[in-house]
Structure 1
Amino acid sequence: MRVVNSLVERCFAVVELLANDASAVRLGEIAEKLELQKSAAHRMLNVLCEIGWVEQESDTGFYKLTLRLAILGQRFLSATHLTDVCQPVLEELAADSAELVRMAVVQGETLTWISQVQGARNGLKYQPEMVARVRLATTANGKAYLSTLSPTDAIRIAINDSGDHGEERSIAPVEEFIEELKLTQKRAWAISDEEAEPGVVAIAAPITLGGGQTVGTVSVAGPSSRLTAERHEQVASSVLSAAAKLGELWPLRQRYNSEGSFSAPSRNSVTQFEN
């Protein structure tokens, strides 16, 4: 982990670290993970406590985030109207697949979950914890995103991301991973068959704008007992259709008016991904 230097960097580093876990963290662990002196970490935490971003538990002395960051995040996401315009497509895909549907957005060189819809009506339901960042090397969403990049950038980002998540499993051999990304790019959808989580299969596709910019991913995930090999092509077709619709709807959030309505394109106007 790189050394954090400036005051602003230190503040955000503390916030990002605490955002990884809802439980409280001891001072020594924060200082160790950020490679800071305990005295420096303590000063930063005191400042963050004073301005309402962090709170200290009275019984343990450990630190955790307040809900201020979550509230601001929800406020900003609502202001973008992204979930407003995309939600109907996600709900349609969830109903069609009868499995969990999730959407993530590209943030820098990472993916961040922003929305999910549970489509399973009975039996086993895959309902993962809604953490912020998407693991790139092992998830269908991550591989769908990486497949839109050059091989050099994809490998670099995947390796860095694996280190950030503290994963023991590497993406080696690199050649095999590159071949998987090439196949993903060719068919326009990615699959994670119990790679990210035992017993879970996920199929994802990138959300791409007309100019070719990848802005996010959408996926269907569920128990491997239901998402069997026989269903992969069918589910992938539905995911691709949803990704294409989302790609056309994405820019419309800017035209979302104060009454909460917009002119969506007709279903027939949606262009499918081409292999």
Structure 2
Amino acid sequence: MSSVLEKSLAIVELLVEHPVGLPVTTIAAMTHQPASGVHRTLQELTRLGFVRQVHAGGDYALTIKLPAMGLGFMGRAGITDVSQPVLDQLAADSGELVRLSVVDDTRLIWVAVAQGATRGLRYDPGQEQGVIVHLASTAGGMAWLSSMSDEEALALVSAQGLVRVSDNTGPNAPGSITLLLERLAQARARGYAMAVDGYIAGMAAMAVPVRYHDGPQVLGCLSIAGPAVRMTPARMQELSPALHAAAQELGAGAAGTRYFQSNVRALEHETRASA
């Protein structure tokens, strides 16, 4: 890391993943920064109201200021106003977890969720909003990759990494480029992407791209996820029409959001520039 800003943001991103806080020495080790420099940065973030010390001489944690800013942005951008009713209805109809991810430059980020399972076995991660989607191991990531050429997809996967570094990565995540391309071809032919025991063991999901007015511009991806014992291939096929209909509704409603409008303008500019 070179700049002060880059080092500061690395600390903030780490604390987002540890809401109960971390000691200075751990933050320094995990961000590969000197402890003295980390301490100075934390003091400045504390002064600005983004970080607090849990107790005197104790761990440092984020305050509610940064999450509040994020929620305020989501609301003013119109994303939640348009998406949440659609997600809630699809979750109720499917009885499973429904998630919306949005395209942010070269990344896909989970931004909204609705839980349809009210009892019994269910998949409920609870902490994925704002998390960057791992493209190769998730249904949402594969749905986005399937909307582009193999060359474009491989460039994104190469930049992020084919294998997700996590203790709970599923055993069925693609471990080779050949397998990844096979699954992308299957997703295009099927009409939706699948991930079974890929992102997390025991979990299965299906996803489709959300296209602006059903056109070429992909704004994000919509997925349904649940326990693999319940989200079987046959069940996914049954849910496919409802998932596609919800994605089309989101794509049509995107015209009313400032965030998606700016994304569409950027995509149209890139298309004209490359033509």
The 3-state SS of whatever aligns with 1:184 is helix
Match of 1:95 in 2: 92
Match of 1:72 in 2: 69
Is the contact between residue 101 and residue 221 of structure 1 (CA under 8 Å) also seen in structure 2?
Answer: yes
Q: C-alpha distance in 2, partners of 1:54/1:154?
A: 37
C-alpha change, 1:235 and 1:208, in structure 2 (3 Å) is: same
Match of 2:265 in 1: none
Of 98, 108, 113, 1:111 maps to: 108
Is 1:155 paired with 2:154?
yes
Gaps spanning 5+ residues in structure 1: where?
A: 256-275
Match of 1:174 in 2: 177
Q: After TM superposition, give the deviation of residue 203 of structure 1 in Å.
A: 0.8
Is the contact between residue 113 and residue 130 of structure 1 (CA under 8 Å) also seen in structure 2?
Answer: no
Q: Which moved more, 1:17-26 or 1:56-65?
A: 56-65
The count of aligned residue pairs is 252
Match of 1:259 in 2: none
Q: C-alpha distance in 2, partners of 1:30/1:121?
A: 38
Deviations, residues 122-157 of structure 1 (Å, cap 9, x unaligned):
322321122222222211111111222332332343
The two structures have a TM-score, normalised by structure 2, of: 0.83
Percent identical residues: 33
C-alpha change, 1:41 and 1:164, in structure 2 (3 Å) is: farther
Q: C-alpha distance in 1, partners of 2:36/2:180?
A: 43
Mapping of 1:1-275 within 5 angstroms? 4-58=1-55, 61-131=58-128, 132-133=130-131, 134-162=133-161, 166-167=165-166, 171-210=174-213, 211-254=215-258
The 3-state SS of whatever aligns with 2:205 is strand
The one-letter amino acid paired with 2:179 is E
The 3-state SS of whatever aligns with 2:257 is helix
Is the contact between residue 159 and residue 171 of structure 1 (CA under 8 Å) also seen in structure 2?
Answer: no
Q: C-alpha distance in 1, partners of 2:30/2:156?
A: 21
Q: After TM superposition, give the deviation of residue 120 of structure 1 in Å.
A: 1.9
The one-letter amino acid paired with 1:47 is E
Q: After TM superposition, give the deviation of residue 60 of structure 1 in Å.
A: 5.7
Is the contact between residue 158 and residue 171 of structure 1 (CA under 8 Å) also seen in structure 2?
Answer: no
Q: C-alpha distance in 2, partners of 1:179/1:246?
A: 28
Q: C-alpha distance in 1, partners of 2:249/2:190?
A: 18
Q: C-alpha distance in 2, partners of 1:36/1:153?
A: 34
Gaps spanning 5+ residues in structure 2: where?
A: 260-275
Q: C-alpha distance in 1, partners of 2:34/2:205?
A: 42
Q: After TM superposition, give the deviation of residue 76 of structure 1 in Å.
A: 0.7
RMSD (Å), alpha carbons: 2.3
Q: Could you list the structure 1 runs, at least 4 aligned residues long, displaced by more than 6 angstroms after superposition.
A: none
Q: C-alpha distance in 1, partners of 2:258/2:158?
A: 35
User: Which structure is higher in helix share?
Assistant: 2
Q: C-alpha distance in 1, partners of 2:57/2:141?
A: 37
